[in-house]
């Protein structure tokens, strides 16, 4: 083969290789090469998400995830627990500042009441949070008027006595009730009450509001304006 023929053959071969490469590029250009990866990642993430949803609440607690009453079916106004043994057997509840405020209020306002009476006090606090007449957070409702002796909304915050938790088992139980109520527990004991007082007193405001319930040593009322 002559020199010219060798050059021509070499050029033809080069063109063939280039054409094949271009054909490969052209075929790839119409398909996202990451598409398959995205699908696989989506599938894996979906599997992980499904797995997390199916994890037992005790498992979540052991790995440090915060317990909520929803883990035990308390949601959409269903699932209040009135049995002391069941409440005490539940995993230790957790929560932020608002949960702490509700737990504290239940402890100092209602630890001597029945479990239903404790739920009822929680209802009043949460009803106030929902009312435009009161602050919009649990802590703000509980501490409204604090610092003004006997002018506060919840006596324990302004009676001049230090708040010390001495009944740890009761405090934990009330933390369960606070958690349940904050997670959607029913409010069907006091018919929307926003006020209560003990049977030992007869405040003037009680004449202005309709009475809705009496549970233990507390009488409940609903503000109408």
Q: Is residue 71 a part of any domain in this protein?
A: yes
Query: 């009135």: which residue's tokens?
Result: 82
Written as six digits, the tokens of 140 are: 């703000």
Is 224 a domain residue? no
* Residue 149: count of CB within 10 angstroms of its CB: 9
Domain containing residue 135: 60-192
Q: Evaluate whether residue 217 is within a structural domain.
A: no
How far apart CA 61 and CA 72 sit, in angstroms, is 12
Do 86 and 69 meet the contact criterion of CB atoms below 8 Å apart? Answer: no
Is 9 within the bounds of a domain?
no
According to the model, what pLDDT value does residue 152 have? 86
* Among 182, 171, 177, CA closest to 87: 177
β partners of residue 219: 197, 214
| Spatial CB neighbours of 136, under 8 Å, sequence gap ≥ 6 | 129
Is residue 197 in a domain?
A: no
Taking the CA atoms of 172, 174, 176 and 182 in sequence, report the sign of the dihedral they define.
negative
Two structure tokens written together for 218:
């507390």
Given the structure tokens 């071969």, which residue do they identify? 13
| Cα–Cα distance measured from residue 15 to residue 130, given in angstroms and rounded to the nearest whole number | 78
- Residue 173 maps to a domain: yes
Asked if residue 108 belongs to a domain, the reply is: yes
Q: pLDDT averaged over consecutive 10-residue blocks of the chain (225 residues)?
A: 51 44 32 34 34 38 43 56 96 95 96 97 97 96 80 83 92 97 95 95 92 97 90
CA distance 142 to 137: 9
Q: How many CB atoms lie within 10 A of CB 74?
A: 21
Dihedral sign, Cα of residue 73, residue 134, residue 210, residue 113? positive
> Does residue 156 belong to any structural domain of this protein?
yes
Per-residue confidence (pLDDT) for residue 161, from 0 to 100: 81
Tally the domains of the chain.
1
Buried residues in 31-62 as b, exposed as e (16+ CB within 10 A) = eeeeeeeeeeeeeeeeeeeeeeeeeebeebbe
| Residue showing tokens 């405020």 | 101
């Amino acid at each position: 083969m002559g020199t010219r023929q060798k050059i021509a053959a070499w050029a033809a071969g080069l063109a063939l290789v280039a054409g094949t490469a271009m054909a490969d590029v052209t075929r790839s250009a119409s398909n996202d090469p990451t598409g398959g990866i995205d699908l696989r990642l989506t599938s894996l993430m979906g599997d992980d998400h499904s797995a997390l949803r199916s994890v037992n609440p005790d498992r979540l607690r052991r790995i440090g995830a915060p317990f909520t009453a929803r883990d035990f079916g308390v949601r959409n106004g269903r699932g209040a627990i009135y049995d002391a043994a069941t409440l005490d057997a539940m995993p230790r509840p957790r929560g932020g500042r608002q949960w702490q405020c509700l737990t504290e209020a239940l402890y100092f306002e209602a630890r001597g009441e029945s479990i239903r009476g404790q739920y009822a006090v929680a209802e009043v606090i949460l009803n106030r949070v929902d009312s435009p007449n009161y602050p919009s957070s649990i802590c703000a409702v509980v501490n409204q008027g604090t610092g003004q002796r006997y002018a506060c909304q919840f006596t324990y915050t302004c009676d001049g006595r230090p708040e010390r938790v001495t009944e740890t088992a009761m405090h934990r139980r009330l933390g369960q009730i606070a958690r349940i109520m904050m997670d959607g527990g029913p409010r069907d004991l006091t018919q929307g009450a926003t006020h209560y007082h003990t049977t030992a007193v007869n405040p003037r405001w009680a004449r202005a509001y309709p009475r809705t319930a009496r549970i233990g040593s507390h009488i409940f009322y609903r503000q109408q304006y």
